[in-house]
Amino acid sequence: MKKINLTALTLIAALTLSLSANAQTATNYTGKKGKLSEPELQRWSHLDLAKDSIPGMSVDKAYAEVLKGKKGVKVIVGIVDSGVDIDHEDLKAVIWTNKKEIAGNGIDDDKNGYIDDIHGWNFLGDDLHETLEMTRIIKKGDDGSATYKSALAAYTEKYDKALKDKQQVDFLIATDKAIQKHLNKENYTIEDLNGIVTTDPDLTKSKAIMTRILTNAGPTFRAEIEEYGKYVYDQLNYNLNKELDGRKVVGDNPEDIKKTTYGNNTVYGPDKEEALHGTHVAGIIAQVRGNNLGGDGIADNVAIMAVRAVPDGDEYDKDIALAIRYAVDNGAKVINGSFGKSYSPHKQWVFDAIKYAEKKDVLFVHAAGNDGQNIDLDENANFPNDSEDNKKEFASNVLTVGALTNKYGEGVIAEFSNYGTFNVDVYAPGDEIYATIPNNKYKYLQGTSMASPNAAGVAALIRSYYPKLSAKQVKQILMDSGTPLPAKVVLGENPNPNQEPVAAASTQSSKSAKMVNAYNALVMAEKMSKK
C-alpha cells in the first residue's frame, strides 16, 4: 500500500466537501465530544473507553492494574517495512542486535547468508522507488489472462486519476502563488485574505479557494499540499511508470526465489528520510515509555528487528517471503507487516513463508489496507492474506487489522479502512497516531499501517509476560478479548457526501467485530496461562 499520510487526502477532499460524522453511540459507552486535547491526541491509543470516553486500547490501565510489579522476557519484533531509523533518540535503546555477528568485519559470522547483519537486513539495497504490481503485470504484455485484463483496467483507472490529481495539485500551487504575489508576502492568514478587495474574477476565485483551504487545514496547508503533490508525482514518475526498472538498482532477479543473498545491512536504506513509514511503525510498538520524548510505545520489553523490504511502490513477493523467513530465523516472535497490494504473482512464496512462521510459532500481524473496501470480495483482494479461497485459513498465525478513529460511535471505523467478515480479524487505533519518524522527529500519521503495529504491540506484551502462550493463542486472545464495536458502524467511504452515511451491523466489519484491548487481553492471557 502506498506510504502517505492520509491527512493530505483529507485536505484535498475538504476543497469541495464538508462531511458530517454520525455521533450515535452504543448503549454502554459515550464517546468524547469535540476535539481531543493535544496530550490526549498524542497517546489516545493508550487510553480507556470507559474512563476517557476515547476508544483506545486501555494500555495505561493494563500497566497500572495487570503488569505492575511483573517482569517479562525480551521479545524480538520484526518490522518488515520501508526501513527503520535505528539511531532515533526514542528507538536506539530498543533496537535488536545480532549477538552472533561481529560488526564491520565483512564476514558472515553466523553463517546465515547475510554479512554484518547487526540490526537486521535490507533486501532492497539502494532501491527507493518502485512500480506497482499492476504496472509490472501490464508491462509484461497481454497473455490473455483474466489477471492481465484486471490489472490493465485498474492501471488505466489509477493513471487517469493521477493525471487529474496532478492538475488539481498544480492548480492549488498556482493559486497559492497568485495570492502570495498579490499580497507580496509568502505567508498569509485568513485576515489577509479577507482584506483582499478586487474585481478580478481570477483573484476572487483564488481568494475563495485559499480561504477554504486555510479554514480546513490551518497554517500547515502548504505542507499538506506539498505532501499530496509528492504522492501524486511519485505515482506518475515511479509507481505507474512502465519504463521504470528499480530492480536494476538492487541487482537481483525477483523471479528467482532460490537466490537469497542480496541487499545490504543498511536497514534504513540509502536515504534515512525515506524510512519514515517503518520508523513510525517501530515507534508505535516500542518507542521508550515514560522518557518524556515524543510518545510512548505499547510494549516495554521488546527489541526491534528492522527488515527493509517495502519500497515506495509495491513490494516484491520474493522480498516479503525472504524478509519473513529472515525475521523468523533470527528470533522474532511477532512480525508486523504494514504493507499490502492488490496483485501477488508469486503469492505462494509468501504463503509458504507464513506457514514457516506458523511452524516456528511466530505471529504475523498485517494491515488490512486503506481502500475502504470489502476485502472478502475477490476483486478487492489485499495481499498477503491467510486464505487461498476465502473460505478456509491455511495458517493460524495471521492477524489482519483494520483501523479505528478516536471518535467512538458509528464512525469509529476509519472510512479508509478495509473491512470483511472473513479477511479482517479485529480493529485497532489507526487515525492520527503520534510516533517516531527519522532524524529524532515525531509525527501524526494514519492508516491501517498504524493500526497493525498497535495490535502487534499488544501481541508483544502478551508474548513478553506470558511467553508460554502460542502465536495461535495470542491471536485468539486479541480477537476474543476485544471491546465490542458499537452495534452499528459505517464501513468504507461515504458514497454520497451530501447525505448521512448509512451504518451497517458491526458484525459485517470483521471476524470478531471487536477492538483490541490490552487490559482485557492480558487478563485473558493470565487466565489462559494458568490452564
Are the C-beta atoms of residues 309 and 315 closer than 8 Å to each other? yes
| CA quadruple 59, 64, 65, 71: dihedral sign | positive
Are the C-beta atoms of residues 521 and 66 closer than 8 Å to each other? no
User: What are φ and ψ of residue 204, in 5° steps?
Assistant: -60, -45
| Per annotation, catalytic residue among 206, 344, 449, 512 | 449
Residue 239 per-residue DSSP state? I
C-alpha span between 352 and 70 (Å, rounded): 37
Select from 353, 295, 346 the least CA-distant residue to 327: 353
C-beta atoms surrounding 417 within 10 Å? 31
Domains of the chain as residue ranges with CATH: 7-130+261-529 (3.40.50.200), 146-239 (no CATH)
Largest CA distance in the chain: 79
Residue 331 per-residue DSSP state? T
| Per annotation, catalytic residue among 48, 52, 60, 81 | 81
User: What are φ and ψ of residue 97, in 5° steps?
Assistant: -125, 130
Residue 449: active-site member: yes
Instruction: Give per-residue pLDDT as tens, 62-121.
Output: 999 999 999 999 999 999 999 999 999 999 999 999 999 999 999 999 999 999 999 999
Query: Cα 509 to the chain's mean position, in Å?
Result: 18
Are the C-beta atoms of residues 407 and 21 closer than 8 Å to each other? yes
Select from 243, 283, 269 the least CA-distant residue to 123: 269
The per-residue pLDDT for 185 is 95
Number of H helices, E strands in the chain: 16, 13
C-alpha span between 404 and 486 (Å, rounded): 12
Residue 336 buriedness (CB in 10 A; 0-12 / 13-18 / 19+):
buried
Place of cell 524478509: 323
The per-residue pLDDT for 30 is 84
C-alpha span between 149 and 134 (Å, rounded): 10
C-beta atoms surrounding 168 within 10 Å? 16
Q: Nine-digit cell at 312?
A: 515506495
What SS3 state is found at 268? Answer: coil
CA atoms within 13 A on the CB side of 106: 0
What SS3 state is found at 234? Answer: helix
C-alpha span between 400 and 199 (Å, rounded): 56
Q: What sections of 112-194 are H helices per DSSP? A: 133-139, 146-183, 190-194
| Per annotation, catalytic residue among 46, 277, 280, 366 | 277
The per-residue pLDDT for 487 is 96
Are the C-beta atoms of residues 516 and 58 closer than 8 Å to each other? no
Start-to-end CA span in the chain (Å): 40
The per-residue pLDDT for 95 is 98
The per-residue pLDDT for 422 is 97
Residue 88: active-site member: no
Select from 341, 392, 332 the least CA-distant residue to 365: 332
Strand partners, 6: none
Q: Which residues of the chain have pLDDT under 50?
A: 1-7, 9-27
Instruction: Give per-residue pLDDT as tens, 348-380.
Output: 999 999 999 999 999 999 999 999 999 999 999
The per-residue pLDDT for 109 is 97
Listed in sequence order, the residues at least 6 apart from 271 whose beta carbon sits closer than 8 Å to its beta carbon are: 128
Residue 53: active-site member: no
